[in-house]
């Protein structure tokens, strides 16, 4: 059976809709927009001259393999509780892309490697701005030195950006969940402040945060500390979130209702800009001397950046042969894969 369609789960959401719009220019009438709301899927397709097909699909429940007939690639834009749907896709020999940022879930997806190999399927994870672009930038920076001692990854988000509700909820949820960093050190999110220069913006405060890139990159550099930090373009917001973390108020965020209310307020109160940026600093040796290599990226609209990364990887999978199995983005691709989409500056 010839498979040719692209199924985007969450295709009418903040990231999925932008991804679908870009893919439609290359694959008209081959994009399926899936989600729990058939009405929202239909509305998106109507807005795009019915060049996409609406599908009602709830991946939190059992999905029948027949619903995936003629699907070549699935792009997952939703957070999931288990890997049942991803397992089904790979069992059917369907290529799979996931943009989740949750390391706990990514570890579960990695376990599907044998299933993907058995059924001649390829899955790519860590596809987005962070993780994703951060992984590729960190690998590129590290490769510019003869040896590496430290890797610092700093992520800047614009306080005025229209972040998807799920992204905001994820950040708030992480404040109460400690993680284990280099040498199994227990670390609290939004602590260990560092001032970092971002291209065109100047210095901003960033704080250690449990993005998955630092964990997956540790497989390539097991003997060096890799730290990912997060900050916002508005310093007062950085101070406020840091204050929340240090005070007992942060403990209230473990309640879903309070998380949802605060996430809604953040989306309504527009301070700052739509800027987003990444600053990677590799520290080590080159030509037998101490050396530092920095790589910078600055753009607008974090969800659009994630959509561009996922779209580029989708085209790579559809147009070229890649090994079967499950991989993080840096295991199959390099920064050069995204050179046409983005501009980087190095020092």
Q: Which residues lie closer than 8 Å to 261 by C-beta, 6 or more apart?
A: none
In angstroms, how far is CA 232 from the centroid of its own chain? 17
**pLDDT one-digit tens code per residue, 49-100:** 999 999 999 999 999 999 999 999 999 999 999 999 999 999 999 999 999 9
- Cα–Cα distance between 165 and 259 in angstroms, integer? 10
Paired tokens of 317? 């999978």
- 72, 176, 252 from 248: Cα distances, Å: 49, 11, 8
For the ranges 176-180, 252-256, 316-320, the lowest mean pLDDT is seen at 252-256
This prediction has a pTM of: 0.93
Instruction: Summarize pLDDT for 282-309 with one digit per residue, the tens.
Output: 999 999 999 999 999 999 999 999 999 9
CB 280 within 8 A of CB 199: no
For residue range 165-215, list pLDDT tens digits in order: 566 677 777 777 889 988 889 998 889 999 999 988 999 999 999 999 999
For residue 259, pLDDT over 90 is answered with: no
Q: Residue 69's CB: how many other CB atoms inside 10 A?
A: 11
User: In this predicted structure, what is the pLDDT of residue 1?
Assistant: 43
Q: Which residues of 129-156 are buried (b: 16+ CB within 10 A; e: fewer)?
A: bbbbbbbbbbbbbbebbeebeebbbbbb
Structure tokens at 174: 């992480």
**Six-digit token pair at 313?**
């990887």
**15-19, 58-62, 223-227, 271-275: segment of lowest average pLDDT:** 271-275
């Amino acid at each position: 059976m010839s498979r040719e369609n692209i199924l985007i789960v969450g295709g009418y959401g903040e990231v999925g809709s932008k991804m679908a719009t870009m893919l439609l220019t290359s694959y008209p009438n081959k994009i399926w927009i899936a989600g729990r709301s058939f009405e929202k899927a239909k509305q998106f397709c109507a807005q795009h001259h019915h060049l996409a097909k609406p599908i009602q699909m709830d991946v939190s429940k059992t999905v029948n393999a027949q619903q995936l007939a003629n699907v070549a690639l699935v792009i997952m834009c939703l957070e999931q509780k288990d890997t049942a749907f991803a397992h089904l896709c790979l069992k059917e020999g369907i290529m799979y892309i996931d943009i989740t940022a949750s390391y706990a879930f990514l570890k579960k997806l990695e376990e599907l490697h044998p299933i993907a190999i058995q059924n001649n399927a390829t899955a790519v994870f860590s596809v987005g701005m962070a993780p994703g672009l951060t992984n590729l930038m960190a690998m590129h920076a590290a490769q510019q030195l003869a040896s590496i001692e430290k890797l610092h990854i700093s992520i800047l988000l614009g306080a005025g950006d229209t972040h998807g509700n799920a992204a905001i909820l994820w950040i708030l949820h992480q404040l109460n969940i400690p993680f284990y960093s280099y040498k199994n050190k227990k670390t609290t999110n939004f602590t260990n402040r560092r001032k970092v220069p971002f291209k065109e913006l100047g210095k901003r405060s960033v704080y250690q945060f449990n993005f998955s890139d630092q964990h997956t990159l540790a497989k390539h550099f097991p003997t060096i500390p890799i730290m990912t930090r997060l900050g916002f373009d508005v310093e007062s917001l950085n101070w406020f979130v840091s204050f929340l973390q240090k005070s007992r108020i942060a403990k209230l965020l473990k309640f879903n209702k309070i998380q949802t209310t605060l996430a809604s307020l953040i989306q309504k109160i527009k301070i700052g800009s739509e800027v987003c940026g990444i600053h990677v600093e590799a520290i080590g040796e080159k030509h037998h001397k101490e050396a530092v290599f920095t790589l910078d990226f600055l753009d607008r609209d974090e969800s659009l950046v994630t959509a561009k990364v996922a779209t580029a990887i989708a085209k790579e999978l559809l147009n070229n042969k890649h090994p079967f199995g499950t991989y993080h983005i840096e295991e199959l691709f390099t920064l050069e894969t995204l050179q046409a989409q983005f501009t980087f500056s190095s020092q």
